[in-house]
Amino acid sequence: EADIYQTPRYLVIGTGKKITLECSQTMGHDKMYWYQQDPGMELHLIHYSYGVNSTEKGDLSSESTVSRIRTEHFPLTLESARPSHTSQYLCASSEYEESYTFGSGTRLTVV
């Protein structure tokens, strides 16, 4: 039974569209993260949050934005999608600086 949920699982969208990738967790974790994953590459941290109303940019420059209005919800928004945004996006949460719980991911294709 998944404790962290990502929707949609797959998304194909046209260039210039605005999209929001949803991520919700039921564990009450304060820390949440968004990673971008491309084949053969390390996972890149693009955003993270240590609690409500706290968001930070990660190590990889990203044109996306995030919000953290509720502990359980950490959506990621792309205002204007481009083909370079085609990737898999993974959401994760953690309680301390230890192990992460990951969602199943959203595979985004921008055409």
Partner 1 sequence: AQSVTQLGSHVSVSEGALVLLRCNYSSSVPPYLFWYVQYPNQGLQLLLKYTSAATLVKGINGFEAEFKKSETSFHLTKPSAHMSDAAEYFCAVSETGYQKVTFGTGTKLQVIP
* Interior/surface letters 88-103, b for 16+ CB within 10 angstroms, e for the rest: ebbbbbbeeeeebbbb
Among 7, 11, 22, 31, binds partner 1 (CB under 8 A): 31
Q: How far is the CB of 79 from partner 1 (least distance, A)?
A: 25
Determine, following the binding rule CB under 8 A, whether residue 90 of this chain makes contact with partner 1: yes
Q: How far is the CB of 56 from partner 1 (least distance, A)?
A: 10
Q: How far is the CB of 32 from partner 1 (least distance, A)?
A: 12
What DSSP state is assigned to residue 87? Answer: E
Residue 43 tokens read as 């996972």
Q: How far is the CB of 28 from partner 1 (least distance, A)?
A: 17
Determine, following the binding rule CB under 8 A, whether residue 98 of this chain makes contact with partner 1: yes
One-letter identity of residue 102: F
Number of neighbours of residue 41 by Cβ within 10 angstroms: 9
Q: What is d(CA 33, CA 57) in angstroms, rounded to the nearest whole number?
A: 10
Q: Applying CB under 8 A, which residues contact partner 1? A: 4, 6, 9, 31, 35, 40-43, 45, 48, 50, 90, 92, 97-105, 107
